[in-house]
Structure 1
Amino acid sequence: MLACLVEPDCSSETFDADPDIAGIGVIAAFLISAWSSLLITSVEYSSRHADVFSPYSGYAVRLDDLLRSYIRRFTRPIKKPWTLQSIQPVVLAASDQQLVTGLAIMAAGYIQHCTITQYHFDIVASLGGIAFNVYQPALYALDGYTNRDPQMKLCRTILMTILFGMIIPSIFAVFNVNFLELYGASTQCIWDNLIDSHHDTTSDVLLSFNLIVTVWAYIESMRCLYPTIFRRIPRISNFILTCFEGMLHWIDKKSSQYVQTANSTYQLYTETQSIKAFVTLSYHWAMYTIVTIIVRPIFWVIFILVFTFQEIIRSHFIDIWRAYTVTLALIIEVISIKQDAVSSEVINGSENKWGFGQILPLLLLVLPVMSTWEVF
């Protein structure tokens, strides 16, 4: 961060209202756009049995196929008044609006790093996180539509990468143990002591979880935009599963061999009562016990964990569910911090006053509505 011209205020409990960041119009515009985009994405991806669909990776996702087969039983009688090809411009307009507004509010939070309060930066980070997490699953409904214009695809990739670069530092700031101790304190106070501040287990776990979810969303976005770059990932995962399946077959084969050898050795031992036959019999029964009771369950557990992890990572339904979960969690964060600030009476003024900064985001919602009108 650039140095501040004036020493940042790190001890203020009260602060002035800023409707352009935390106003009801700004938050409403983000939420309407986010939920609209998520609903469109959910409907389109879950109802693709009526449209032509080729997976981005070139491999079918078994978990998605299973879930879609159940959804198909309920949605087959319902006829959509649109096709995937006709609705794609609407999805693109809604998702692009999320991307631009997310960049705008995050840029405002970073530009005002010396003066913006920790309360307002928490709202900025939450709204930016909503925009980032909602944009990625919207690409599933586009089904390669962005590939028609390589220049625009590159532009969206750059903007998505910039937003990702803004989200990551904000996560470190928001989950710092000293963040929001005083709502009115400057966010620069956190940036100045971000590395040297103490940590606790809860904040570290939340920080790690949010970083994993954010990086996951970014990688999935890049995989949708440039599928050929990540096409080796499903091949590697399938190779790992094939190795595990081969190992399980080998274990079953070895256990069968140990049983057969032990049975034949037992007959020899009963006839000769030799010590050598007894030792051989004991060895084969011990190996059979180890393979069947210890080795086989361990490999089955590992195989199930690897298979489940692969299906979760590759599943688009899981991605959409993740977007819903993250969006809902961030909305709860925004609502709770606003209610807490109002009940604590630490805000000077009202953030519900309507002005240019609140009306403009709501007016931008007209753009996807116009695109929808053009489609129909």
Structure 2
Amino acid sequence: MSGAFEGRAESSSPTAANCEELLQQGAIAHPDPDISGAGVVLAFILSAYITFFMVLVVYLGGLVDSTLLRPVDRQIFHIQPYSPSRRRPQLHASVRKAVLALSDQQIVTGIAIMGAGFQGLRTGSISVYHFQIVLYLAWMSSSVHLSAITLLGTYLQEHRGIMIWRLCGMSILLVMLIIGLVPTISNDWGIFWWNGMVDGRTGWAIPAKCFWGKLWGDGVGPDAPLGFIILAISYIWKVGGLFSITSTAYNRWVRSPLETLLVLLLKVPATHSDSDLHPRLWLWLFRLILGIALPLFVILECVSSFAASLWISLTGLLFGTIQVLVPRTQMQPLTGSLENTWGFGQLVPLILLIQPLGAIMEHVWTKDQSGLHRQDTNHTRDDAATSSFANPFELDTGANGKSSLIQLISGRSPISSFSIRDKKQEMKALLFSSKLFATLVWLVQAAVVTICVVVFYFDAETIGNQRSNNWEFILEAIAAFAIFGFLMTVVLSPFSRTGKL
């Protein structure tokens, strides 16, 4: 092996010949506690999870602004919106202050650590292992901001200055993360050991620069797009929700046309189910179409809920955590105890986590002077910006309490409307009073849990060894949900208002 890499990787920039040799024999691992030390890793992960669980507790505790909650949150999950008359405004403001402090701290450190990683990538001084740690620690910082946006959507909309500079920071970090993911697409990235490797060496210790623009003949890893997709969905979902124009465009060009198409498809058999010509045949045709339409309605409602934002945040956190902790565990025998030694560089990041606690105490003990104690005057604001249906809480559900879905769609209900838009509103009120609809909503949550458990389990088991082909598990789980949802709807709809005459 070339002497250039007998010592630390920082000694020189790798050449193509060096990289080719290292990809055959591996490289010697060296610890770097400033990147992968226990305190550094723990500080990033703790701040991300503290923020997420703070948002989760706020959600379950009824401290989320009413404009951020959707019908699924209120009617199915029974989450109460925040109301100053029922909840302590000072606690509400303190939580906001703490989340803001955490997100402010992490956006700066995330950009800083990615900047340091790019410098090491440019000079060839950072290994695959340490660049992986840098990349996904910055991912943790990104997750903190996405969790914060989930909770602070209304507040940021009302404080444009605060929102703009945070969006600038998030945009910079997003670009850096996308660029940082580029070398990870190689099938040879992050392999702990392979046949022919010299004892005491590892693929994790190869300079990360060797993979910049190089696939080395083994192609792109099958799981490589997963990181890009999770990142893109997370940012589009959270940042897009801050602007009414994106919600309006989604509803106008995606959701509303799809819902209208489903209603029109259901209307044909619903209308003929009361005719003299094969009424039972038309009824079962309606139920078969409903087996496709109802799960789609459920998914459309679920993706607009606050709970969906929590799932997106948790998925990103778990993915990033696995990408950090599994390689670090694999490298412990080769890097020794230095990365677990608690020195100055390990303690400072953890001590800085006290800052949000100080923000909470400051807010609890002082009167609000910054406008954070916002009285929720929008408690009954229409949810039409994010849902093409009207708010079911504003509908007179008592009038159609005994009407079935077929009667509403076909026009045989005494309150049925000729307008497609009004018809969809009436349908929504009926669906949210249906146990079958609620069951399908919970089935979606179970499907998400199942996908996460299976994908992340195999991901953790295969990191450093082989590609896990997560796409197969994801597609199989989606297919299983579609089949199970279809069968459940067809079988149970005759006993529900959704499928009765």
- The answer to whether the superposition gives a TM-score over 0.5 is yes
TM-superposition CA deviations, 1:58-113 (whole Å, max 9, x none): xx6232223541x56xxxxx977953234212111112222222222222211210
Does the 8 Å CA contact 1:46/1:68 hold for their aligned counterparts? no
Tell me, yes or no, if structure 1 residue 361 matches structure 2 residue 349. yes
**RMSD of the alignment, in Å?**
3.0
Correspondence for 1:321: 311
Does the 8 Å CA contact 2:13/2:125 hold for their aligned counterparts? no
- 5+ unaligned residues in a row in structure 2: which ranges? 1-10, 81-85, 192-202, 365-501
1:320 and 1:369 mapped to 2: Cα distance? 23
Correspondence for 1:269: none
1:54 to 57, 61, 67: 67
- Identity among equivalent positions (%) equals 25
- 5+ unaligned residues in a row in structure 1: which ranges? 73-77, 264-287
Q: Which amino acid aligns with 2:189?
A: F
2:213 and 2:110 mapped to 1: Cα distance? 25
SS of 2:205's equivalent?
coil
Distance 1:67 1:365, change over 3 A: farther
1:67 and 1:163 mapped to 2: Cα distance? 36
1:6 to 4, 13, 22: 13
1:130 and 1:45 mapped to 2: Cα distance? 21
Deviation at 1:330, TM superposition (A): 2.7
Distance 1:212 1:138, change over 3 A: same
SS of 1:83's equivalent?
helix
Trace 1:330-349 onto structure 2 (pairs within 5 A). Answer: 330-343=320-333, 345=334, 347=335
How many pairs does the alignment contain? 328
SS of 1:183's equivalent?
helix
Q: Of the two, which has the highest radius of gyration?
A: 1
SS of 1:136's equivalent?
helix
2:130 to 99, 102, 120: 120
Q: Which amino acid aligns with 2:212?
A: W
1:138 and 1:322 mapped to 2: Cα distance? 13
Tell me, yes or no, if structure 1 residue 41 matches structure 2 residue 55. yes
SS of 1:33's equivalent?
helix
2:218 to 193, 198, 203: 198
Distance 1:209 1:63, change over 3 A: farther
Tell me, yes or no, if structure 1 residue 309 matches structure 2 residue 299. yes
Deviation at 1:363, TM superposition (A): 3.2
2:65 and 2:190 mapped to 1: Cα distance? 49
Deviation at 1:173, TM superposition (A): 2.9
SS of 1:7's equivalent?
coil
Deviation at 1:187, TM superposition (A): 0.6
Correspondence for 1:350: 338
Correspondence for 1:186: 207
Distance 1:30 1:80, change over 3 A: farther
Distance 1:193 1:87, change over 3 A: same
Distance 1:320 1:107, change over 3 A: same
- After TM superposition, the score normalised by the length of structure 1 is 0.76
1:51 and 1:217 mapped to 2: Cα distance? 20
Does the 8 Å CA contact 1:101/1:131 hold for their aligned counterparts? yes
Trace 1:24-173 onto structure 2 (pairs within 5 A). Answer: 24-48=38-62, 52-55=65-68, 61-69=70-78, 82-113=90-121, 114-173=124-183
Deviation at 1:168, TM superposition (A): 2.2
2:76 and 2:139 mapped to 1: Cα distance? 27
1:91 and 1:231 mapped to 2: Cα distance? 28
Correspondence for 2:29: 15
Distance 1:228 1:92, change over 3 A: farther
1:298 and 1:121 mapped to 2: Cα distance? 52
2:243 and 2:108 mapped to 1: Cα distance? 21
Tell me, yes or no, if structure 1 residue 243 matches structure 2 residue 261. yes
1:61 and 1:106 mapped to 2: Cα distance? 36
Does the 8 Å CA contact 1:153/1:225 hold for their aligned counterparts? no
Q: Which amino acid aligns with 1:209?
A: L
Q: Which amino acid aligns with 2:70?
A: V
SS of 1:230's equivalent?
helix
Does the 8 Å CA contact 2:185/2:224 hold for their aligned counterparts? yes
1:54 and 1:175 mapped to 2: Cα distance? 40
Distance 1:322 1:241, change over 3 A: same
Does the 8 Å CA contact 1:144/1:224 hold for their aligned counterparts? no
Structure with bigger RCO (C-alpha 8 Å, 6+ apart) = 1
1:143 and 1:64 mapped to 2: Cα distance? 16
SS of 1:221's equivalent?
helix
Does the 8 Å CA contact 1:136/1:218 hold for their aligned counterparts? yes
Does the 8 Å CA contact 1:119/1:180 hold for their aligned counterparts? yes
Correspondence for 2:186: 176
Deviation at 1:336, TM superposition (A): 2.1
